């Protein structure tokens, strides 16, 4: 009886120990949370040069935020002055005032803001963008006053919005334009574009953001002509025309893609010799002649390169007709044959940024460095309801901290 009892006790101890191992692992990967200082649905993280220094700009709570790329101090994202008040709702008279910054773009010289003045219907209470504006500025100092130019507003040619009635009690507003940029580390390689849909000719038209000259619907700048678009899954339909959704600077020129996201391994000190683009959960990478592919875990939403790996942001937010796809963060590293393979993180990235979160944007502020030595940022949100609203916003990895945490 004693032997039997001892066997049961020992078996129980082994069983309990085995079950507890994942919990111990989770405790090991969990770290003390940093205070959230940059929150909100951040659509992109944009590189911009001021003088001889490199900065990152984004739109978040507090408006336009910026930080120097070599700054790894928590809580040091500053607020950059803008020429308008920020969007807010007045409950006393049920009206909106101010402007909402939708996104931040940059070329080699200018920083651009696309904003919306919101309004709402009195009966249904639908909120909709009543006026899309394009602001631009050449920023020469983070301390001196910046002169902003309202480049265009109420421009339905550049920024068309479509109102669609789903039912007698449901309406949604769809932007018929898209903005994308190279966001290259090297200043001279930065280009930004707006793609707009014309409901009359049923075609997409492209415009490059190049200066601060003001224009309206009757004085639109010349369209940008794209000679070729890389399409990983073209349609066989006779009337099919590929639509550019992303762009990179590579080998002295621009390459356009139908992919949601595209990037290169360019750094501040070296030109790119590889470019990357996605098609759903497939990651393609090419040297301009040979192209290889890697299957990711789910829909690829964002990418950032390091000297020895590529960081992958997963997720798709969905629309009125589709459900959101699972998100999270992953990585791929090159094997001895020079091919990318999915790999696990050596830090707490997947523990902090789980599949519940969509990773809208990724950027490596130090792309010439290996992953463990890089300053990495991820813009995280999630779809639906839950208790993680405090996690929506910017996350970061710093080598001196050694883990992913809240910005």
Does some domain include residue 316?
Answer: yes
Q: What is the DSSP string of 344-391?
A: --SSSHHHHS-TTSEEEEEEESSTTS-GGG--EEEEEE-SS-SS-GGG
Rg, Å, the chain Cα set: 23
Does some domain include residue 151?
Answer: no
Beta carbons of 370 and 308 less than 8 angstroms apart: yes
Give the whole-angstrom CA distance, residue 49 versus residue 108: 8
Q: Is 341 exposed, middle or buried (0-12, 13-18, 19+ CB in 10 A)?
A: exposed
Give pLDDT, residue 174. Answer: 86
Token pair of 348 as six digits: 């707490």
Give the whole-angstrom CA distance, residue 302 versus residue 313: 5
Residue 17 has pLDDT above 50, yes or no: no
Give the helix, strand, coil percentages of the chain, each rounded to 5: 10, 45, 45
pLDDT more than 90, % of the chain = 77
Does some domain include residue 118?
Answer: no
Does some domain include residue 56?
Answer: no
Instruction: Specify the range with the lowest mean pLDDT, choosing from 53-67, 122-136, 250-264, 290-304.
Output: 122-136
Does some domain include residue 161?
Answer: no
Residue 257 has pLDDT above 50, yes or no: yes
Give pLDDT, residue 121. Answer: 73
Beta carbons of 283 and 298 less than 8 angstroms apart: no
- What's the full length of the chain, in residues? 407
Residue 2 has pLDDT above 90, yes or no: no
Does some domain include residue 356?
Answer: yes
Give pLDDT, residue 389. Answer: 76
SS (H, E, C) 286-347: ECCCCEEEEECCCCEEEEEECCCEEEEEEEECCCCCCCCEEEEEEEEEECCCCCEEEECCCC
Residue 14 has pLDDT above 70, yes or no: no
Residue 166 has pLDDT above 90, yes or no: no
Beta carbons of 8 and 16 less than 8 angstroms apart: no
Sign of CA dihedral 284, 285, 287, 292: negative
**What mean pLDDT comes out for the span 293-302?**
96
Among left, alpha and beta (phi > 0; psi -120 to 50; other), residue 2 is: alpha
Q: Tell me: the pLDDT tens digits for 187-226? A: 999 999 999 999 999 999 999 999 999 999 999 999 999 9
Residue 268 has pLDDT above 90, yes or no: yes
Give pLDDT, residue 210. Answer: 97
**What mean pLDDT comes out for the span 17-45?**
70
pLDDT confidence of 332, banded at 50, 70, 90?
very high
Using alpha carbons, select from 302, 264, 249, 257 the residue that is nearest to residue 42: 302
Q: Tell me: the pLDDT tens digits for 384-406? A: 655 567 889 999 999 999 999 99
Could you count the other beta carbons within 10 Å of the beta carbon of residue 216? Answer: 13
Give pLDDT, residue 168. Answer: 62
Domain encompassing residue 397: 297-407
Beta carbons of 51 and 58 less than 8 angstroms apart: no
Q: Tell me: the pLDDT tens digits for 24-37? A: 444 445 678 899 99
Give the whole-angstrom CA distance, residue 148 versus residue 150: 7
Element (H or E) spanning 16, and its range? helix 2-29
Give pLDDT, residue 31. Answer: 78
Token pair of 111 as six digits: 């920083």
Number of domains within the chain: 1
Q: pTM for the whole thing?
A: 0.91
Calculate the average pLDDT of the chain.
Answer: 89
As a whole number of angstroms, the longest Cα–Cα distance in the chain is 96
**Which residues have CB under 8 Å from 333's CB, separation 6+?**
308, 309, 340, 341, 343
In angstroms, what CA-CA distances link 99 with 1, 60, 89, 116, 255? 78, 13, 11, 5, 33
Token pair of 108 as six digits: 């080699």
Residue 120 has pLDDT above 70, yes or no: yes
pLDDT confidence of 176, banded at 50, 70, 90?
very high
Give pLDDT, residue 122. Answer: 66
Q: Tell me: the pLDDT tens digits for 334-355? A: 999 999 999 999 999 999 999 9
Give pLDDT, residue 382. Answer: 83
Q: Where are the alpha helices (DSSP H) in 206-303?
A: none
pLDDT confidence of 89, banded at 50, 70, 90?
confident
Does some domain include residue 264?
Answer: no
Does some domain include residue 219?
Answer: no
């Amino acid at each position: 009886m004693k032997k039997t009892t001892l066997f049961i006790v020992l078996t129980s101890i082994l069983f309990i120990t085995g079950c507890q191992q994942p919990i111990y692992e989770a405790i090991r990967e969990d770290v003390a949370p940093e205070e959230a200082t940059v929150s909100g649905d951040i659509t992109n993280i944009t590189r911009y040069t001021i003088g001889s220094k490199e900065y990152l700009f984004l739109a978040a709570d507090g408006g336009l935020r910026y930080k120097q790329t070599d700054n790894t101090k928590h809580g040091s994202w500053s607020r950059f002055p803008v020429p308008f008040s920020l969007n807010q709702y007045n409950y006393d008279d049920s009206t909106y005032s101010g402007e909402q910054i939708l996104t931040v773009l940059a070329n080699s010289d200018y920083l651009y803001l696309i904003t919306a003045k919101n309004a709402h219907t009195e009966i249904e209470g639908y909120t909709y963008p009543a006026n899309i504006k394009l602001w631009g500025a050449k920023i020469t100092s983070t301390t001196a006053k910046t002169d902003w130019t309202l480049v265009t507003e109420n421009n339905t040619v550049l920024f068309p919005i479509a109102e669609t009635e789903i039912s007698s009690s449901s309406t949604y507003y769809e932007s018929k334009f898209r903005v994308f940029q190279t966001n290259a580390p090297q200043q001279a390689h930065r280009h930004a574009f707006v793609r707009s849909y014309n409901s009359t000719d049923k075609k997409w038209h492209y415009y490059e953001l190049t200066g601060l000259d003001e224009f309206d619907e009757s004085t639109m700048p010349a369209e940008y002509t794209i000679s070729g678009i890389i399409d990983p899954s073209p349609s066989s339909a006779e009337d099919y025309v590929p639509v550019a959704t992303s762009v990179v600077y590579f080998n002295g020129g621009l390459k356009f893609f139908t992919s949601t996201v595209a990037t290169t391994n360019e750094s501040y000190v070296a030109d790119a010799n590889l470019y990357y683009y996605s098609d759903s959960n497939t990651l393609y990478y090419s040297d301009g002649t040979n192209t290889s592919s890697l299957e990711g875990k789910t829909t690829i939403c964002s990418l950032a390169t390091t000297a020895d790996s590529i960081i992958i942001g997963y997720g798709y937010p969905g629309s009125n007709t589709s459900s959101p796809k699972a998100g999270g963060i992953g990585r791929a590293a090159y094997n001895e044959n020079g091919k990318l393979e999915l790999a696990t993180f050596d830090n707490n990235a997947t523990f902090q940024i789980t599949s519940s979160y969509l990773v809208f944007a990724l950027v490596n502020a130090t792309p010439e460095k290996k992953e463990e030595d890089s300053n990495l940022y991820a813009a995280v949100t999630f779809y639906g309801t839950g208790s993680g609203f405090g996690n929506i916003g910017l996350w970061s990895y710093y080598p001196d901290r050694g883990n992913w945490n809240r910005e």
